[in-house]
Structure formats: C-alpha cells, structure tokens
Structure 1
Amino acid sequence: MQIGFEAKRVFYNKTGLGNYSRDLIRIVSDCFPENKYFLYNPKKSKETLFVPNETNVFEKNPRTAFYKKYYNLWRQRGVVADLEKDQIRIFHGLSGELPSGLQSKGIKSIVTIHDLIFIRYPHLYSFFDRKIHYLKFKKATRNADLILAISEQTKLDTIQFLGVDPSKIKVIYQGCNAVFKTYFSDESKKEVAEKYQLPEKFVLNVGTIEERKNALTIVKAIKNLDVSLVLIGKETKYTAQIHNYIKINNLENRVHFLKNVSAEELAIIYQLASVFVYPSIFEGFGIPIIEALFSKTPVITNKNGVFPEAGGPSSLYIEPFDVDDLEQKINQVLTDATLSKNMREKGFEFAQKFNDELIAQQIISCYKELSK
C-alpha cells in the first residue's frame, strides 16, 4: 500500500499532536515496512523534529512555485493533485483535518480526532479559534470514510457534539515514544539529576502549564508535605498564578520549573520521580500518563473523563480541584512502600495495551479495510 498523511504537525509541532503524528508514522513504518508512507508537509521546517528514512517514509512538499508561496492553500486543496500523481489511494489526516476533493478523485480518507475540548470548555479558546476548529472538524468527520478517536471519551464527544454515526468511528489508543520504554543506568540518572538540580524526592508533572492542566492544585497539595514538585512544560499566562502562590507561601525552593528538556532527559526524570501527578481538567487521552506508566512511576490523576482509560486500575484518582484528597494520596504513595511498588508494577503491566505492535496492527487493519 501507498499511504498519504497530512503531516504539517509531524515537522512543526513539539507537543501532543506532533508526538502522536510522529509516533504513528514511526510505528507503522517499523512494523509494516513493506508499505510506503508519504508525508505531505506544506513547508520545509527549519527545525528538525522528524527525519524520513527515504526508504519507505518520504517527505512531500509543494511542487509548483504557486503552491510553495501559498502553501496553506496547497494543504487545503492543491495537495490532492499531488496525491493523484503519487498514486495515493488512502489519505490519513492526523489532526482533525482533510483537504477538499479527495472523494472526487477516489481517494479513501481517515481522520484522527484527538479531543473536542474547545466545545466542552469554550472559555479556554478565542471565539475565532472555536469557530475555525468546529468548521474544520465538522467538515473532516462528514467527509472521512473512517474516523479514528484516540479514546472512548473522544468517541462519545464526537458523537454528541458533531453528530457522527457511531459506526463510522473506531477507537485506537495512542502509544508513546520508545525512549519512555528504555531503562537508563544509575550513572545517566545521576547526570540528569545533577544537571537540573533535582531533589532526591519529588512529585512530577509534565505538560503545558496552562489553566486546563491545573498544576496550581498540585502546588497547593504539596504545601504541607515533605516533598518537592517539578513542573516540565511551556509556560503560559496561567503560570503567573502559580508563581504568585509560591511566593506567598514561601515555596520557592520546593517548586522547580524546567524547560528545554530533551526526550531522553524527560524519560530519565520520569524514572527518578517519586510519583507523577496529572490533575488535568480534561484531555482527549493524556499521553504523559502512559509515559509515566511505562517508566514504572506511580500515577495520580483525574477520576473523570478519559483518565481512567489511560491510567488503569492501579493508578489513584481524585476530583481535579480537591487539594486535600490529592495531598492525602501523594502522602500515601510517598509513605507506603507496598502501595508504591504495586502501582509501579501493575501500572507497567497495564501500559502494555499501548504497545507499538498492537497499535500498528490496528491502524494497518483500518488501511487494509479501506483499500478493499
């Protein structure tokens, strides 16, 4: 098979959508090398986030001067002519988008829907962004031959908010970068701990530091505990609330903000952490939870929505704004060695359902079904 992908975020996005796109390309091309995978990128990136192997994975850019200049127009419509030339019969929109004109050319299409947070929590988005997202997702789900939802929660939201027929949706979970499944030596851990001046015992949170991710609740929960907090992620305006709380409560020496951490360093920090806490209000899936489980790190997260799907039966769950309950559960993990050991072992066992081979098989099965 020759499969095309809407690949802008493969080359440009460093966070969730980009990670999903890169991991999907990686696992299907590794597990099913007999196929050819064409990544349609509207504009060459100056920063290297992904390198096609040029054996069975190829980057494709606009061919004409017109579309090189008007690359967004190429992405929305002009790319279809290139798909025809490349004899693409299946096209996968990896982040809720599909170009116009696929059906008229006989090209089957799949679109991945990650979340509909902009509908559930409209106050977190501008009016313009909400309208653009809605129109884009509505069009893609209407025209796609198959919709992939990254969780049962996202499937339910797609049915409820976009009016999609449930029979058109298939749930295939995300995996995570292989680096989080790698065991690192004590020497490597020591180097990273020294580089970032990590405390011996700490709570970890990973993700953009924004209102929806709810990191302030963690800061409040550790105030009376003998433990530090490490926050890794891009800061936003919301971070000012956290800094203000830290200052008022004299927590400057116990809350650490890290930036520009490499994937390998992040994987090591997961393994060094005493517990991973993720009190996000809402996610389409919550990939950092999977990264923590593969790292054999105990997880505490939101009891609602998608989080139990990702965290499994051995993680601990809270209402996202319940500071007292979160404080109690962090303390449980820190002081109960038997509980901590069980969470590490059972969490790692549960994480195997997100292994590359299983996910790749499910995705390729979708492509084969459409190619019939």
Structure 2
Amino acid sequence: MNKLVKKYMRCFMKLYIDGQPLLGHKTGIGHYTNNLINELILTNISIEVVTNQIVNQKRLKSINFKDRQLKNIKLTNKLYPYKVIRRLMKHNVLYNFPIDLFEEKLNRSNSVFHATNFIMLPTRHAKQVVTIHDLAFMKFPDVVERNIYEYMMRWVPYSIEVADHIIADSFNTKKDILELFDIPKEKITVVHLAADAKFEKQTYEQITLVREKYNLPANYLLYLGTLEPKKNLVTLIDVYALLKQRYNVKEKLVIVGAKGWKFNPIFYKVKELNLEQDIIFMGYIADEDLASIYSGASVFTFPSLYEGFGIPLLEAMQCEVPVVASNTSCIPEIVGEAALLVNPYDIELWAEKIYQVISSPILQMDLISKGKQQASKFSWEKVALDTLKVYKKVVI
C-alpha cells in the first residue's frame, strides 16, 4: 500500500469488519475476508474485526492476520447472539438489534461496518457496506440446500435494502442484482477479487514432494472446489469417462475440495462408470500444498454452472496450468482469452477441448502465457484500494 494512501487514510475512519467467515476452515469467502483485512492493515485505518462466536472459543484461534501487533487492528468477539437474534427478527419480535448496542456511541460520519458475507449485521450508527458474492441461490435454487435458500431469501434482500452501498465480486453479479432487485445501479460497485501471490509455479522438487505426500500420479487433470451441485461435477465425470473411452487418455482425474451438500450423486456416478481407480478425491487440502497440486496438473478444469467470481481460476493461471472452464456467469469476465470456454452441459465438446490441450504443447504454452498475463491484472492490493474507495463514498 503506497505512502500517499496511508497518509490520506490516517484519520479517515473507524472500520468494523464481519470476521465470521474467518472461523474454522476457510473457503472462498473466508480467504476474501482474510486477504482484504491483511491489505487494509497496511493503511492507517482503525480496524476492528468482529466475530460472534458464543460457544466454541477455540475457533477464534484459527484467525491469523499478517501482523496482529500493529496498533490499528483489533479482534473482538462480541458474543452477539446471532442465531437467536435472527430467529427473533424472523418472528418480528426484534427487527433491528444492533451489534454495537453496548458500545460507545459511534460517529456515523466516519464509521463503516463491512458485512463480508452477504448478510448485514445491523448497527446503530455506522454506515453499512455489504459484499454480495453471487446470487446462485436465486438463479439456480435447485442447486442450493433448502434451509440455505430460505435463509438467503430472507436476509439477502434485507441486506441489499438497508446497506448504504453494495460490493459485487463481478460485473455479472452486479447485473444479476440489478435484474432481481429494484435498486439504483449507483448503489453497487464491482470489486474483482484475486488469488494469493503464493500461488505460483512450483519447482519440480516441490511438486514431487507433494505428489509423493498425497500419492498422486505423475499426470492428472485437476478440479478444485466444493463438492456440490452447482459445481457440475457429475458432468465432469461423464467428460472424463468419454476422454478415456474415445481418446484413451492416461491422466487420472484429481478432485480437491470438501463435501458440500448433495454430493452423493458424484460418487454414484464414479461407481456407475467403474472409475474408482481413475478418479482421486482428496478432500480439503491445506493451502501450503495447493500451489504444488496446481503446478503438477496437466489441465485445470472448472465446469461450474454459476460463479460469483472463481478464485481457483486465477490460482491455476498463476501456477501456469492451462484452463478449460465453463462459459457461464462471470467466468468469461475473469479469464478473458486465457482459457478454453465450453458450454457446461456439452460433454462431447468438453472432452474434445481437454484432449486438445493435453495433446498440443503449443496450445498449452499459449494458454499458460495468456493465463499469467490475465492473472496479473488482479491483486489483493487492488481489492483493498477499490474497497477503500467504497468506504470513502459512503462516509462523505
């Protein structure tokens, strides 16, 4: 963060950030929150990261900032009875129970509460910013768990209504918000996300060590993400079966990611096609090994039906892996011309494109070169600077 920004922001505001996504194993929103905070720490904003963990205090230890010794950052566990308040609000007993009820009075002119995970926690005085990562639950309700759908349908519209400003991860998400909600376009700012700088091409020795650690094959196709319906993994498995049958590919398929919901059809499909020896499910993998897993892959596949952003796309490109991805939602916006894009339902075309990459070193090098250039357009420093502009907008 440059000196001019630091000087400009020195007395600018008091910032509260919802730190709930930082608890436990971090998924995409957790990484977003963590990386945003790490960059904001480099400014002189006074930052308070707010959690509401009531029962299991040990989970607070999972939160790790770049430099927690700096004076401008504070971690506070509010003991805010989040679930209880939501139930009371659901029954109209309480509609707006503020998280800062027992604090000293904030100056609304220079205080901001940033809800990083769709849902706004009410405040008495601070201006309110909410990040809406995607609207998959509205665009594809059949691929969202019922209780999650009902929860999101109740609180995301509320958050969009009460927020002073909305951050969207992509122009596609902004478009979806404007299509589904009657709000002015000026209320939404697009802030593209990024991949961590540690995701870069690893050495042969590093790749070999991780491959041996997890007993991975020398050649494999890779998918990384949660195992859930919107990720379209049943189709990917059909594609892989066709690759073996029609093109006689030798690569295994490696699937990295925790089980989400409705994951059983994925394993049923593997068994149905007798691919138990060819498809490797790794589960959740710690960040320190992911760059090597990416770097060892022949192709990164991303057949998702809908994404708000798709950080794994950038991680793969930074690790110099050619990418074949769906041509849906924000994915073309993120990868530009640096990936082969395919209709997520077209099994034959998916197999054809993956085989083209596997069999053509020239195409591999072209995609790798374009991928590195495309990924360089995104950084967490830029995310922080663009987010600071939103904070400035709401407090003026």
User: What are the superposed Cα offsets for residues 279-332 of structure 1, whole Å, 9 maximum, x if unpaired?
Assistant: 011111111111111111111111122110122212001111211111111111
Matched, 1:39 2:49: yes
- Range 331-340 or range 183-192, more displaced: 183-192
CA separation in 1, counterparts of 2:45 and 2:204? 40
In 2, are the aligned partners of 1:4 and 1:38 still within 8 Å (CA)?
A: yes
CA separation in 2, counterparts of 1:307 and 1:164? 25
Write out aligned runs for 1:207-218 (5 A): 207-218=225-236
User: What are the superposed Cα offsets for residues 188-216 of structure 1, whole Å, 9 maximum, x if unpaired?
Assistant: 21110001111111110011111111112
> Which residue of the other structure, out of 247, 252, 256, is the alignment partner of 1:232?
256
What displacement does 1:356 show? 2.0
CA separation in 2, counterparts of 1:252 and 1:101? 51
CA separation in 2, counterparts of 1:28 and 1:245? 45
Matched, 1:203 2:221: yes
User: What are the superposed Cα offsets for residues 61-95 of structure 1, whole Å, 9 maximum, x if unpaired?
Assistant: 22xxxx56x35457973422356457671111101
Matched, 1:279 2:291: no
> Which residue of the other structure, out of 72, 90, 106, is the alignment partner of 2:112?
90
Matched, 1:19 2:38: no
CA separation in 2, counterparts of 1:203 and 1:308? 21
What displacement does 1:13 show? 5.5
In 2, are the aligned partners of 1:205 and 1:277 still within 8 Å (CA)?
A: yes
Give the letter aligned to residue 358 of structure 1: K
User: What are the superposed Cα offsets for residues 142-192 of structure 1, whole Å, 9 maximum, x if unpaired?
Assistant: 1111110001111011111122211110000111233214x4333221110
What displacement does 1:45 show? 4.4
> Which residue of the other structure, out of 169, 172, 180, is the alignment partner of 1:153?
172
Write out aligned runs for 1:122-201 (5 A): 122-181=141-200, 183-201=201-219
In 1, are the aligned partners of 2:219 and 2:251 still within 8 Å (CA)?
A: yes
CA separation in 2, counterparts of 1:295 and 1:179? 9
Partner of 2:359: 335
Partner of 1:258: 282
Uncovered stretches (5+) of structure 1, i.e. residues with no partner: none
In 1, are the aligned partners of 2:338 and 2:370 still within 8 Å (CA)?
A: yes
- Range 156-165 or range 4-13, more displaced: 4-13
Write out aligned runs for 1:51-66 (5 A): 51-52=64-65, 53-55=68-70, 56-62=72-78
CA separation in 2, counterparts of 1:119 and 1:365? 29
In 1, are the aligned partners of 2:46 and 2:73 still within 8 Å (CA)?
A: yes
Secondary structure of 2:381's partner? helix
Structure 1 residues 78 and 166: CA distance shift in structure 2, 3 A = closer
Secondary structure of 1:46's partner? helix
CA separation in 2, counterparts of 1:226 and 1:42? 49
In 1, are the aligned partners of 2:221 and 2:251 still within 8 Å (CA)?
A: yes
In 2, are the aligned partners of 1:42 and 1:72 still within 8 Å (CA)?
A: no
Structure 1 residues 71 and 284: CA distance shift in structure 2, 3 A = closer
- Range 235-244 or range 185-194, more displaced: 235-244
Give the letter aligned to residue 145 of structure 1: D
Give the letter aligned to residue 351 of structure 1: A
Partner of 2:101: 81
Partner of 2:89: none
In 2, are the aligned partners of 1:12 and 1:45 still within 8 Å (CA)?
A: no
What displacement does 1:245 show? 2.9
CA separation in 2, counterparts of 1:233 and 1:295? 18
CA separation in 2, counterparts of 1:255 and 1:142? 45
CA separation in 1, counterparts of 2:82 and 2:189? 31
In 2, are the aligned partners of 1:298 and 1:315 still within 8 Å (CA)?
A: yes
CA separation in 2, counterparts of 1:227 and 1:2? 52
- Range 44-53 or range 298-307, more displaced: 44-53
Partner of 2:4: none
CA separation in 1, counterparts of 2:272 and 2:153? 41
Secondary structure of 1:293's partner? helix
CA separation in 1, counterparts of 2:144 and 2:273? 31
In 1, are the aligned partners of 2:101 and 2:123 still within 8 Å (CA)?
A: no
In 2, are the aligned partners of 1:148 and 1:170 still within 8 Å (CA)?
A: yes
- Range 319-328 or range 13-22, more displaced: 13-22
CA separation in 2, counterparts of 1:45 and 1:162? 38
- Which has the larger share of helix? 1
Structure 1 residues 73 and 36: CA distance shift in structure 2, 3 A = farther
Give the letter aligned to residue 206 of structure 2: S
TM, length-normalised to structure 2: 0.85
- Percent identity, aligned pairs only, is 29
Matched, 1:115 2:139: no
CA separation in 2, counterparts of 1:237 and 1:356? 30
CA separation in 1, counterparts of 2:305 and 2:132? 19
Cα-Cα RMSD: 2.2
Uncovered stretches (5+) of structure 2, i.e. residues with no partner: 1-12, 87-95
CA separation in 2, counterparts of 1:359 and 1:135? 28
What displacement does 1:126 show? 4.7
User: What are the superposed Cα offsets for residues 250-288 of structure 1, whole Å, 9 maximum, x if unpaired?
Assistant: 322211010241101111101111111010111111111
In 2, are the aligned partners of 1:179 and 1:263 still within 8 Å (CA)?
A: no
- Range 113-122 or range 358-367, more displaced: 358-367
TM, length-normalised to structure 1: 0.90
Secondary structure of 1:200's partner? coil
In 2, are the aligned partners of 1:222 and 1:229 still within 8 Å (CA)?
A: yes
